[in-house]
């Protein structure tokens, strides 16, 4: 059963402050005009480097916050201030507003079935078709928001926090002001569909992650304020909200190999949901409420947990943790610590290397034996 604990208000404030500072840096940027031919520079014209280098930002609050590996094996990393990085195993290429991005703050990435890379930024959606970056306009659909001063001050209504392509090929985008769907021709605001039963009057704002389960249900996790709507399921007809322990802030959601959903909460560790019951999956004593930034289950079914702060704010707290639970919440398998500082993002590549980021645009790779830095600090 889940334990009831009180969130550490100081840490919640620190986490919220970090997000606000990141957003302020993004919103302070003036989007550059889109290229007249809507094309970015060819890769051959772009500068290359063996390390991630910062060219657009300064300070410790700019970090790599998302990443994917495409079908050809290329790694892509998005940052909240320095744009997008492409890594082919030898060299990094950086894409910024100069190369066609709508913003240098990239919060989400996805490769679709056609091999196109979708890029969620603080100024809407971009798409990489081959070597061309295109800005995909949905600004005319973004609704004016008057019911929350936070949006008008920080301008997050255009931010694309999460992207999903469902089994039918429909693209889903979690924007600051709601969820949008794209059928390949048109964008529609999901909640504008009158056939969707929404008895709790949910807004689906600031959706931090989305997944589709084996049954075709779409799951949404509500992230930073003013969302706080918890975990939401759409079964093709109706929306159902889950707020166990009154938790409303979920960071991300992972489909486990055993069929369960793994949920990174902001206040109560990692939970497992088997379709009927929520249970503790990972609640280490050393980690405080609000410490988990992201979770990832690797190809072997082992769990990776990216954390930032611990109870005593010492070097032994936070960091990147790993355990071979292999989908069994009742397992007593111990966690081991791979990295000793704040970690904001974690992913696995096809060669089973673990990539993760830390403060100040630090990018690391763990090959199972040692950690290597891939950025210029």
* Digit-coded pLDDT (tens) for 11-54: 444 455 455 455 555 655 544 444 333 445 567 778 788 999 99
Domains in the chain, please, with CATH?
A: 9-291 (2.130.10.10)
CA dihedral 179, 252, 231, 309 (to 10 degrees): -130
Cis? peptide before 226, omega within 30° of 0:
yes
Check if the beta carbon of residue 180 is closer than 8 Å to that of residue 190: yes
206: left (phi over 0), alpha (psi -120 to 50) or beta: left
pTM assigned to the model? 0.84
The whole-chain average pLDDT of the chain stands at 81
pLDDT(7) > 90: no
Q: Could you read off the pLDDT of 145-174 as tens digits, one per residue?
A: 444 444 433 346 789 999 999 999 999 999
Range picked from 275-289, 300-314, 355-369 for highest mean pLDDT? 355-369
Q: How far apart are CA 70 and CA 212, in angstroms?
A: 19
pLDDT of residue 131: 84
pLDDT of residue 3: 43
Q: Could you read off the pLDDT of 188-219 as tens digits, one per residue?
A: 999 999 999 999 999 998 899 999 999 999 99
Check if the beta carbon of residue 160 is closer than 8 Å to that of residue 167: no
pLDDT(310) > 60: no
Q: Are strands 64-69 and 106-111 parallel, antiparallel or unpaired?
A: unpaired
Q: What tokens appear for 93 in the block?
A: 């290429």
């Amino acid at each position: 059963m889940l334990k009831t604990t009180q969130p550490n208000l100081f840490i919640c404030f620190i986490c919220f402050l970090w997000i606000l500072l990141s957003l302020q840096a993004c919103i302070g940027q003036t989007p550059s005009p889109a290229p007249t031919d809507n094309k970015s520079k060819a890769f051959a014209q772009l500068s290359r480097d063996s390390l991630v280098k910062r060219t657009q930002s300064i300070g410790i609050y700019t970090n790599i916050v998302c990443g994917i590996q495409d079908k050809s094996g290329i790694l892509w990393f998005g940052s909240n201030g320095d744009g997008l990085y492409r890594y082919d195993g030898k060299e990094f290429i950086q894409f910024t507003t100069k190369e066609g991005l709508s913003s240098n703050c990239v919060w989400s990435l996805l490769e679709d079935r056609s091999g196109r890379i979708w890029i969620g930024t603080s100024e809407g959606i971009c798409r990489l078709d081959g070597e061309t970056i295109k800005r995909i306009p949905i600004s005319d659909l973004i609704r004016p928001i008057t019911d929350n001063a936070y949006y008008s001050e920080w301008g997050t209504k255009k931010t694309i926090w999460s992207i999903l392509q469902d089994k039918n090929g429909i693209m889903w985008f979690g924007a600051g002001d709601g969820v949008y769907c794209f059928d390949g021709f048109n964008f529609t605001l999901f909640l504008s569909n009158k056939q969707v039963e929404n008895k709790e009057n949910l807004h689906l704002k600031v959706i931090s992650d989305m997944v589709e389960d084996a049954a075709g249900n779409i799951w949404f996790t509500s992230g930073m304020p003013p969302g706080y709507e918890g975990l939401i399921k759409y079964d093709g007809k109706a929306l159902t909200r889950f707020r166990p322990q009154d938790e409303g802030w979920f960071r991300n959601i992972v489909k486990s190999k055993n069929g369960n959903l793994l949920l990174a909460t902001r206040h109560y560790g990692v939970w497992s949901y088997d379709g009927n019951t929520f249970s503790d999956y990972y609640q280490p004593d050393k980690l405080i409420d609000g410490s988990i930034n992201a979770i990832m289950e690797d190809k072997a079914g082992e769990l990776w947990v990216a954390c930032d702060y611990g109870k005593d704010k010492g070097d032994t707290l936070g960091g990147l943790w790993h355990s071979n639970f292999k989908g069994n919440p009742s397992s007593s398998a111990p966690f081991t610590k791979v990295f000793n500082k704040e970690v904001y993002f974690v992913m696995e590549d096809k060669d089973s290397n673990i990539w993760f980021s830390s403060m100040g645009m630090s990018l690391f790779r763990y090959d199972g034996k040692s950690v290597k830095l891939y950025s210029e600090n």
